[in-house]
């Protein structure tokens, strides 16, 4: 199959142009057309010669995910179901707020981590998304919102001002494509978002957290959910491979020799599972000395789950205990739950290849070795 233009970042495009006897800056011109201005028709790329446009046409197709449905929640949140070339479907979510527009992007078809409280886990795992499929999500969301005349909130007149890699999948298990995508999101010739506005969320893939720091400056969120290994082993099976002490050590390294980094800790509030004052106190002890902000996420139910959301007063008490322990804590507002677009509710349509139901051991090495 022909190359997809969306699979090429700045370095790849530069290599292509140099190889074809062109100046390296052609790469930045193409990025600007495609990702900044949203132009994917070569005929409109007027600062490229006709011959060059012809050559581009011969080498690159533009293939984007196909929008199957787009639902809008009563609170303005939108969820798209996108079909990929192989027939699998993924979901992405746009969350508008007064001062920002956040796109929640998927990184894999399904997820291999099998967290017990997450609906994506129930879909099983199929494969990593390509760079084109990750960047295609941004392009489709940005340009469909613009086309509808969506109220642009950002200085750059864009609908998307923030990206969170919190959709389907474990972003750090798709390391190379995700790092390239983050590069394009933060590249001034492309989306040009600041590192503060681009967040990678991980269930705690320790070696990948270390590599991430050395490769790209980005905001980090850790899906922690439990203050002890026993409980976390049950909720996040990846913890058996990378226990809390190792995750926390990687977090300390991530913020080391850098004043400005603060890690977001995600903590899903599960009724009578991880939501008692004792859990809150243990969490304070665990997070001592680490610059963090804790996000409490009221559990979002989905079919066939046995978990329930913690009661509001329990969440409030938990938050107050953390505050008194010196930890900045906010309760994440539930958005888009009427269209199943809230945290942990993204399901897509995944052809499961992990055959998880046939396996005894939930952790499978090959997906995040």
Provide the annotated active-site residues. 91, 343
Q: Residue of minimal CB distance from ligand SAH?
A: 344
Distance CA(275)–CA(271), nearest Å, equals 6
Which of 297, 315, 321, 322 is close enough to bind ligand SAH by CB under 6 A? 297
The minimum distance between CB 182 and ligand SAH, in angstroms, equals 14
In DSSP terms, 83 is beta-bridged to: 66, 89
**What binding mask, one character per residue, do residues 230-269 give for ligand SAH by CB under 6 A, x or -?**
------------------------------------x-x-
Q: Is 170 in the site for ligand SAH (CB under 6 A)?
A: yes
The minimum distance between CB 131 and ligand SAH, in angstroms, equals 18
CB atoms within 10 A of CB 48: 18
* Contacting ligand SAH within 5-64 (CB under 6 A): none
In our burial notation (b when 16+ CB lie closer than 10 A, e otherwise), range 290-320 reads bebebbbbbbbbbeebebebbeeebbebbbe
Distance CA(56)–CA(39), nearest Å, equals 14
The minimum distance between CB 148 and ligand SAH, in angstroms, equals 27
Which of 88, 126, 130, 300 is close enough to bind ligand SAH by CB under 6 A? 300
Q: Is 91 in the site for ligand SAH (CB under 6 A)?
A: no
The minimum distance between CB 27 and ligand SAH, in angstroms, equals 30
* Contacting ligand SAH within 265-294 (CB under 6 A): 266, 268
10 Å CB burial of residue 139 (0-12, 13-18, 19+) is buried
Of the candidate spans 77-85, 117-125, 176-184, 322-330, the one that interacts with ligand SAH by CB under 6 A turns out to be 117-125
Which one, 284 or 342, has the nearer CB to ligand SAH? 342
10 Å CB burial of residue 350 (0-12, 13-18, 19+) is buried
Sheet holding 78-83, edge to edge: 66-72, 78-83, 89-97, 100-104, 162-165, 198-202, 219-223, 263-269, 292-298, 328-331
The minimum distance between CB 339 and ligand SAH, in angstroms, equals 15
The minimum distance between CB 171 and ligand SAH, in angstroms, equals 6
Which one, 36 or 219, has the nearer CB to ligand SAH? 219
CA atoms within 13 A on the CB side of 70: 13
Of the candidate spans 111-119, 155-163, 211-219, 240-248, the one that interacts with ligand SAH by CB under 6 A turns out to be 111-119
Which of 122, 126, 201, 310 is close enough to bind ligand SAH by CB under 6 A? 201
Longest dimension (CA), the chain: 69
The minimum distance between CB 79 and ligand SAH, in angstroms, equals 14
Distance CA(34)–CA(3), nearest Å, equals 15
Which one, 193 or 203, has the nearer CB to ligand SAH? 203
Distance CA(232)–CA(244), nearest Å, equals 8
Say which residue the tokens 């978002």 belong to. Answer: 193
Which one, 36 or 201, has the nearer CB to ligand SAH? 201
Structure tokens that stand for 339 in this block = 């269209």
Q: Are strands 125-128 and 100-104 parallel, antiparallel or unpaired?
A: unpaired
Q: Is 132 in the site for ligand SAH (CB under 6 A)?
A: no
Query: Of 297, 295, 298, whose CA–CA distance to 309 is shortest?
Result: 298
Structure tokens that stand for 216 in this block = 């790209």
Of the candidate spans 128-136, 137-145, 241-249, 297-305, the one that interacts with ligand SAH by CB under 6 A turns out to be 297-305
Q: Is 117 in the site for ligand SAH (CB under 6 A)?
A: yes
* Contacting ligand SAH within 316-345 (CB under 6 A): 343-344
Binding site for ligand SAH (CB under 6 A): 117-119, 166, 170, 201-203, 223, 266, 268, 297, 299-300, 343-344
């Amino acid at each position: 199959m022909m190359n997809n233009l969306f699979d090429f970042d700045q370095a790849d495009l530069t290599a292509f142009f140099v190889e074809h006897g062109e100046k390296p800056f052609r790469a930045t011109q193409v990025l600007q057309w495609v990702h900044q201005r949203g132009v994917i028709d070569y005929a409109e790329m007027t600062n490229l010669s006709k011959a060059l446009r012809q050559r581009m046409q011969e080498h690159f197709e533009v293939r984007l995910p196909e929008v199957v449905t787009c639902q809008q929640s009563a609170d303005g949140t939108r969820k798209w179901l996108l079909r990929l070339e192989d027939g699998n479907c993924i979901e992405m979510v746009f969350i508008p707020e007064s001062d920002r527009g956040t796109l929640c992007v998927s990184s894999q078809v399904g997820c291999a981590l099998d967290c017990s409280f997450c609906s994506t886990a129930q879909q099983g795992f199929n494969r990593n998304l390509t760079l084109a499929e990750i960047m295609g999500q941004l392009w489709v969301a940005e340009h469909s919102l613009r086309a509808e005349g969506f109220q642009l909130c950002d200085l750059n007149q864009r609908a998307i001002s923030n990206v969170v890699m919190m959709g389907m999948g474990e972003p750090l298990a798709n390391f190379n494509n995700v790092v390239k995508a983050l590069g394009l999101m933060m590249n001034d010739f492309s989306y040009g978002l600041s590192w503060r506005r681009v967040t990678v969320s991980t269930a705690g893939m320790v070696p990948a957290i270390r590599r991430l720091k050395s490769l790209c400056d980005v905001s980090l969120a850790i899906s922690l959910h439990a203050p002890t290994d026993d409980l976390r082993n049950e909720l996040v099976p990846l913890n058996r491979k990378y226990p809390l002490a190792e995750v926390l050590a990687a977090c300390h390294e991530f913020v080391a020799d850098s004043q400005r980094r603060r890690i977001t800790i995600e903590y899903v509030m599960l009724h009578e599972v991880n939501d008692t004052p004792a859990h809150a106190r243990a969490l304070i002890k665990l997070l001592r000395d680490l610059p963090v902000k804790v996000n409490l996420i009221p559990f979002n139910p989905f079919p066939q789950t046995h978990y329930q959301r913690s009661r509001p007063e329990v969440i409030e008490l938990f938050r107050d205990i953390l505050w008194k322990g010196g930890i900045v804590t906010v309760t994440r507002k539930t958005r888009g739950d009427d269209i199943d677009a809230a945290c942990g509710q993204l399901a897509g349509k995944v052809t499961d290849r992990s055959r998880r139901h046939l396996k005894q051991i939930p952790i499978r090495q090959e997906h995040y070795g």
